[in-house]
Amino acid sequence: MKKHNFSAGPCILPQSVLQKASEAVINFNGLDLSLVEISHRSKDFVEVMETATSLALELLGLENKGYKALFLHGGASLEFLMVAYNLLENKAAYLNTGTWADKAIKEAKLFGELIEVGSSKESNFNYIPKGYSIPTDADYFHCTSNNTIFGTQMQEFPETSVPLVCDMSSDIFSRVLDFSKFDLIYAGAQKNMGPAGTTLVVVKEEILGKVSRTIPSMLDYKVHISKDSMFNTPAVFPVYVSMLTLQWLKDLGGIAEIEKVNNAKADLLYSEIDRNPLFNGFVSNKVDRSKMNATFNLVDSAHQEKFDSLWKNAGVNGLNGHRSVGGYRASMYNALSLESVQVLVNVMQELERNS
Ligand SMILES: *Cc1c(COP(=O)(O)O)cnc(C)c1O
């Protein structure tokens, strides 16, 4: 039986998507060829890329609003650099909410002045800073919507007069937002959309072309837009699987429907963390809790061995916390079912009864 996969990334994908993907690896579209051995310029693959980009825009409600969707290489980590390369002329404002935000800041510093408008670094990123102000002369403001490692999530985004850039790697397509507030969104596929190897970038075209530097072709969003994400060979398999996942989400009823399930999963697990005297949540301010990655600890580490063997025996996978936080992290991405969360909650209750 398939495990209850709480892995933080690469993450769980819908079983039906994995089934279709495995079939396409052997025989794609009845071509008697594998998806991974045909030309990316063939009609069959061009259709995959077009469907994937248009599904992404459709699900986000960003069709016909001046946005382009791209599937690029290099992970979200390359976007830390590309965003600054393409947008940073003088100075940029960043909100430092975790390891990934910190890394984005480090890369952007190579290109100009950097204003850290808020940071929770001093308390190991266990809350989201609020009440910060964004300089009106910044080239853009960058934030991270969900902090995968620490289990915090932004519930509100500032009104900005400057372009709003967001790393949504670990919560894209998980909740309804007014995505038109954002000028550039990026997300590594492997948290909530597909296998590792491709990155979704959704960018409002009008913010591009404003820096004076020369941008190398592979790092230039305008080049990728002009070539429909085919400037070089795209990651055909990750793009295809992402397309299948987006199709799965659309068939379910889109983001609004999956958000209901995600809310139910998060409510179930956080209620247990709060109720069960053996556990503590990591995030200091409950409103900042992530619905994608729940971080928690045992109050008494003497229970660790017992708890670890209980959840492993129940078929739970990927529950260990990140090394910079410790404890446990339950990642509840779109494809994880409410039943899987119930299995984890049962194990937590069993630990309580047996201790
Ligand atoms: C995982 C993650 C990244 C890094 O993604 P890569 O694709 O491995 O470069 C960046 N930001 C966030 C929020 C993440 O969760």
Centre of ligand 1 to C-alpha 8, Å, is 10
Position 37 pLDDT exceeds 90: yes
Q: What is the tens place of the pLDDT at every residue in 216-258? A: 999 999 999 999 999 999 999 999 999 999 999 999 999 999 9
Q: What is the average pLDDT across 147-152?
A: 98
Tokens 């390891």: give the residue: 99
Considering the chain, what is the average pLDDT of its residues? 98
Q: What is the average pLDDT across 7-36?
A: 97
Q: What is the average pLDDT across 115-133?
A: 97
Centre of ligand 1 to C-alpha 259, Å, is 21
Q: Is 167 a catalytic residue?
A: yes
Output the pLDDT for position 215.
Answer: 98
Which residue CA neighbors atom 13 of ligand 1 most closely?
Answer: 169
Position 70 pLDDT exceeds 90: yes
Question: Which of these is catalytic: 139, 171, 191, 311?
Answer: 191
Q: Is 191 a catalytic residue?
A: yes
- In ligand 1, the atom with minimum distance to the C-alpha of 168 is 13
Q: What is the average pLDDT across 172-181?
A: 98
Which residue CA neighbors atom 5 of ligand 1 most closely?
Answer: 76
Which residue CA neighbors atom 8 of ligand 1 most closely?
Answer: 75
Q: Is the CB of 163 under 6 A from ligand 1?
A: no
According to DSSP, residue 321 is labeled P
Q: Is the CB of 167 under 6 A from ligand 1?
A: yes
Position 1 pLDDT exceeds 90: no
Q: Which amino acid is at 134?
A: I
Q: What is the tens place of the pLDDT at every residue in 325-348? A: 999 999 999 999 999 999 999 999
Distance (Å, whole) CA 188 – CA 200: 6
Distance (Å, whole) CA 131 – CA 156: 11
Q: What is the average pLDDT across 83-92?
A: 98
The dihedral through the CA atoms of 65, 262, 308, 286 has a sign that is positive
Q: What is the average pLDDT across 275-302?
A: 97
Classify strands 164-167 and 141-144 as parallel, antiparallel or unpaired: parallel
Distance (Å, whole) CA 259 – CA 273: 21
Centre of ligand 1 to C-alpha 153, Å, is 14
Report DSSP letters for 141-202, one per residue.
EEEESEETTTTEE-S-----SS-EEEE-TTTTTSS---GGG-SEEEEEGGGTTS-TT-EEEE
Which residue CA neighbors atom 2 of ligand 1 most closely?
Answer: 169
Distance (Å, whole) CA 133 – CA 136: 9
The answer, yes or no, to whether the previous bond of 216 is cis (omega within 30 of 0) is no
Distance (Å, whole) CA 164 – CA 50: 26
Q: Which amino acid is at 20?
A: K
Which residue CA neighbors atom 14 of ligand 1 most closely?
Answer: 169
Distance (Å, whole) CA 92 – CA 140: 5
Centre of ligand 1 to C-alpha 100, Å, is 7
Q: What is the average pLDDT across 160-183?
A: 98
Tokens 């956080």: give the residue: 270
Which residue CA neighbors atom 3 of ligand 1 most closely?
Answer: 76
- In ligand 1, the atom with minimum distance to the C-alpha of 199 is 7
Q: Is the CB of 329 under 6 A from ligand 1?
A: no
Distance (Å, whole) CA 99 – CA 103: 6
Tokens 């078929």: give the residue: 315
Centre of ligand 1 to C-alpha 11, Å, is 12
Centre of ligand 1 to C-alpha 170, Å, is 7
Instruction: Kindly state the greatest CA–CA separation across the chain.
Output: 65
- Cβ atoms of 233 and 218 within 8 Å: the answer is no
Burial of residue 64, with CB atoms counted within 10 A of its CB: 0-12 exposed, 13-18 middle, 19 or more buried = exposed
Distance (Å, whole) CA 271 – CA 263: 12
* Ligand 1 probe mutation, 77, 128, 146, 332, most atoms within 8 A of CB: 77
Distance (Å, whole) CA 236 – CA 252: 24
Cα distances (Å, whole numbers) of residue 203 to 161, 163, 187:
17, 10, 12
Which percentage of the chain shows pLDDT scores above 70? Answer: 100
